[in-house]
Structure 1
Amino acid sequence: MENLKDVLTDIFGKNGREILSGICSGKNVNQIIQNLSPNVRKKSAQIRELLDKEISQSAVIRLNICLKLIKDFDDSIEHLEKEIFNYAYGNHKQEMEILMSVPGIGELGAATLIAEIGNFKDFASGDKLASWLGLVPNVYQSADKYHNGRITKRGPKGARWILTQIAQAAARTRNSKLKEFFNRKKKSIGHAKAIIALARKIATIIWHLITNDEMYEDETGYVKGEGQRRKIVETEIFSVDERISIISEIFAIVEKKKPDI
């Protein structure tokens, strides 16, 4: 199975897991291939060649354990995301809608920015916010001249990272002023620095929008499509007894894992 990564971009993606779970459940090659996406089925000859190889019982056992672990992690992430978006829409619905009106910002980006930045009105200006996020350059003096260095990277790494990802997405958005801004900057300072400059610009824009309770508007004709919104479901409430039981189970696991002395 070492060569499966040569056929698939991600062996633990949807198609990869379909193949691996098919092997573990004893499906034949045709059954596995017919459940793959059309693009991957085009590589059926390569996949068939790989699956025709004999796989040891111990390898299948280990593979099955790995797949179960991945599913457990996916289920846990889905549960946490549900709680995060329940809270975000329940307590910051207007901020979520405003942020998601900006090119490049989706639900995850909006929720992350709200969590990392908190109250946008704590900052006197968009430039102050950008400075706090560490998206402004260091300025140093040499003789009588001032020079701009690399960005300061102060402030929360999570917010700076998500803004960089948002800038990458905004730079690819058609018919938007943000893309035009990126393309202008790219010609003079290169791709990497232009992305940081765009992230800084987006930081100042979202500060203005949220503090003024406005939606993003773009005179170039850009209109953001309606993305699918998550359904807000009722949060699971644990009773006092259930919480005590969970904590007791954690302590029992910790005690069991303690080495003998």
Structure 2
Amino acid sequence: MLSLVVNKACGLDIHKRFMIATLLCRSGKKEQKRFERDEQGILDLKSWVLEEKCDVVACESTSDFWVPIYDSLISHTTVIVGNARDMKAYTHKKTDKIDSEFIAQLALNKMIKPSRVFPKSHREFRSYVRLRHRLVQKRTDIKNQAQAILSSEMFHLNDVLTDIFGKNGRTILAGICSGKNFDHIVDKLSANVRKKSEQIKEVLEREISQSAAIRLRICLDLVQEFDVKIADLETHIFNYAYKHHKREMDILMSCPGIGEISAATLIAEIGDFHDFSSGDKLASWLGIVPKVYQSADKYYNGRITKRGSKIARWILTQVAQAASRKKTSKLKEFFNRKKKTIGHQKAIIALARKIVTIIWHLITKDEMYEDDTGYQKGEVVKRKIVEIAEISIDERISIISEIFATVNKHAPGEI
């Protein structure tokens, strides 16, 4: 815990390869040092901070550069990780040394509001969720590229199939790329899709160009590779979620619009719901509340602040979209009322905020969602926990070696 009076503070300006540390005392003493951001540099910083008996070490939450420094110091002294945007509001930064000294001044005068720092295991869980989110985005980009290829060749397959990247869709696309005849492709389709054989035949009557077939084949291979890697990540995600947050998962999935992925994502991004004194505080932390301006006695509401996790806000809007389509639900009734006055998009954001306050109440009170309109949540098929073998040190070294080999594959100046 931070003492009532801070007599000595250290401010860190952290970069990718180095960090500038400034030590300030109430007596006016100032000392600055530069440390490399590697194992030895962090050890040297730790020794210096402990030797000088600093009351607090402060830094900005710049990328994830602060993480190893925080983990090294937190068990020995108070470490504050401040929001960079809040700290920049105090001054216009000019140089690394000025940055470091100013952070130390803020820490010395207790003017930095500490950010919430999750335990290491939870940060690793969150990193799985965030990587999965990025891979899904990349996979969507590849699917859109494949759609563009089909459209340019006037293959309107989406007029026949709901999902052209489903099992039947991929069978058809693979058959097109490999030059298979129509009968051979149709034989491998499911019975329901075979009923549309005449419509499919009309689409496949066109001959695809060789260039389009090659590009489409590459897109399909990439989508399949992304599927494998995303499934691998989901194994790690749900193993952790059900092992450490089973009750929270069950409570969240009892709400309309929330499935396994959205529940795990919310837990990963929010962490302990009990850290917030109310659902409104949680909504504010997630940046899903409007900006408020006051002039004289008048208040003006602006757009939402967007201060918190982008991924949490994105998943909440997806949940709100799903909840707004549920029949016989109080959330749907709320959405319909709001939609009449503020429009569809703003009503979705309003519903997302309402869902945040609801899930805060449910988790902090340990209650399942109940709806007096007669809404009943369908059964959610839960993932099974699978034993995962740990990666050995030799395998980790091999992974790092492969990364360096990939980075250095091209000589300087080559593309």
TM more than 0.5: yes
Q: How far did residue 62 of structure 1 move?
A: 3.7
Instruction: Give the corresponding residue for 1:4.
Output: 155
Instruction: Give the corresponding residue for 1:74.
Output: 227
One-letter identity of the residue aligned with 1:189: I
Distance across 2 between alignment mates of 1:26 and 1:236: 41
Give 5+ residue unaligned stretches, structure 2. 1-149
1:215 aligns with 2:365: no
Q: Deviations over 1:172-225 (max 9, x none)?
A: 112221111112222222222211111111101111111111111112222212
Instruction: Give the corresponding residue for 1:48.
Output: 201
Q: Deviations over 1:1-41 (max 9, x none)?
A: 52123635654444432212113344320121343456755
Q: How far did residue 99 of structure 1 move?
A: 0.6
Instruction: Give the corresponding residue for 2:264.
Output: 111
One-letter identity of the residue aligned with 1:241: D
1:174 aligns with 2:327: yes
- Worse-matched range after superposition: 120-129 or 5-14: 5-14
Q: How far did residue 63 of structure 1 move?
A: 3.2
CA contact under 8 A between 1:4 and 1:11: conserved in structure 2?
Answer: no
Q: How far did residue 48 of structure 1 move?
A: 2.5
1:54/1:191 CA distance change after superposition, 3 Å: closer
- Worse-matched range after superposition: 226-235 or 246-255: 246-255
Q: What secondary structure sits across from 2:300 in the alignment? A: strand
Q: Report % sequence identity.
A: 72
Q: How far did residue 55 of structure 1 move?
A: 4.2
1:137/1:260 CA distance change after superposition, 3 Å: closer
Matches within 5 A, 1:1-261: 1=150, 2-5=153-156, 7=159, 8=161, 11-36=164-189, 41=194, 44-57=197-210, 59-142=212-295, 144-259=297-412
Paired residues in the alignment total: 261
Q: What secondary structure sits across from 1:105 in the alignment? A: coil
Report the RMSD for the aligned CA atoms in angstroms: 2.3
Give 5+ residue unaligned stretches, structure 1. none
Pick 1 or 2: higher relative contact order, CA cutoff 8 A, min separation 6.
1
Distance across 2 between alignment mates of 1:121 and 1:68: 44
Distance across 2 between alignment mates of 1:258 and 1:9: 46
Q: How far did residue 165 of structure 1 move?
A: 0.9
CA contact under 8 A between 1:126 and 1:205: conserved in structure 2?
Answer: yes
- Worse-matched range after superposition: 204-213 or 24-33: 24-33
Distance across 2 between alignment mates of 1:55 and 1:218: 52
Relative to its length, the structure with more strand (as a share) is 2
1:217/1:239 CA distance change after superposition, 3 Å: same
Q: What secondary structure sits across from 1:257 in the alignment? A: coil
One-letter identity of the residue aligned with 1:80: L
Q: What secondary structure sits across from 1:47 in the alignment? A: helix
Q: Deviations over 1:111-162 (max 9, x none)?
A: 1101111111111110100111112122223553222222222211111111
Bigger radius of gyration, 1 or 2? 2
Q: What secondary structure sits across from 2:293 in the alignment? A: strand
- Worse-matched range after superposition: 141-150 or 238-247: 141-150
Q: What secondary structure sits across from 2:382 in the alignment? A: coil
1:56/1:202 CA distance change after superposition, 3 Å: closer
One-letter identity of the residue aligned with 1:47: I
Distance across 2 between alignment mates of 1:260 and 1:124: 55
Relative to its length, the structure with more helix (as a share) is 1
- Worse-matched range after superposition: 195-204 or 150-159: 150-159
One-letter identity of the residue aligned with 1:35: K
Distance across 1 between alignment mates of 2:282 and 2:241: 21
CA contact under 8 A between 1:5 and 1:11: conserved in structure 2?
Answer: no
Q: Deviations over 1:51-105 (max 9, x none)?
A: 3444455544443333222211111111111111111111111111111111111
Q: What secondary structure sits across from 1:4 in the alignment? A: coil
